[in-house]
């Protein structure tokens, strides 16, 4: 059983500390971690949710995934991908290459997908929304 130290950092996110093995984890907790940090089993962390790490929250002991924060991350990632796609579309237009769909359809698709993110009830649904 691997143990880790968890605590809420100054940004409101969860920090996870691992012992290098040179010191017992209890000594690392006492020496290097802020008040309120706690030792938990690593298996208690949200499994398969590393891509939403900044949406993890420490709530009364367990680390949980905050779906609202995950949605915010998903929207930011989606918007970044949309900017890249929009720039590619603009480049195509400037050199006379037709885009696969009209600008109006492209924008409507982006709006619909943002609504999918908003309506998502799981991170699996969030991962499925692509530009």
> pLDDT per residue over 74-124, tens digit each?
999 999 999 999 999 999 999 999 999 999 999 999 999 999 999 999 999
Say which residue the tokens 């943002």 belong to: 114
- Look up residue 92 and give its DSSP letter: H
- The per-type count for the chain, helices as H runs and strands as E runs, is 4, 5
In angstroms, how far is CA 53 from the centroid of its own chain?
5
Mean pLDDT over the full length of the chain: 95
* Predicted structure pTM score: 0.87
Nearest partner of 75 among 102, 110, 105, judged by Cα = 110
pLDDT for 60 equals 82
pLDDT for 103 equals 95
């Amino acid at each position: 059983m691997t143990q880790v130290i968890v605590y809420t950092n100054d940004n409101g996110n969860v920090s996870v500390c691992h012992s290098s093995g040179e010191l017992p984890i209890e000594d690392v907790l006492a020496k290097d971690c802020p008040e309120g940090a706690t030792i938990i089993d690593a298996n208690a962390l949200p499994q398969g949710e590393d891509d939403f790490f900044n949406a993890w929250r420490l709530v009364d002991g367990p680390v949980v995934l905050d779906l609202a924060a995950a949605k915010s991350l998903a929207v930011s990632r989606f918007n970044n991908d949309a900017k890249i796609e929009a720039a590619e579309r603009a480049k195509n237009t400037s050199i006379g290459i037709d885009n696969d769909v009209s600008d109006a359809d492209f924008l409507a698709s982006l709006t619909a997908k943002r609504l999918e993110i908003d309506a998502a009830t799981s991170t699996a649904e969030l991962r499925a929304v692509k530009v």
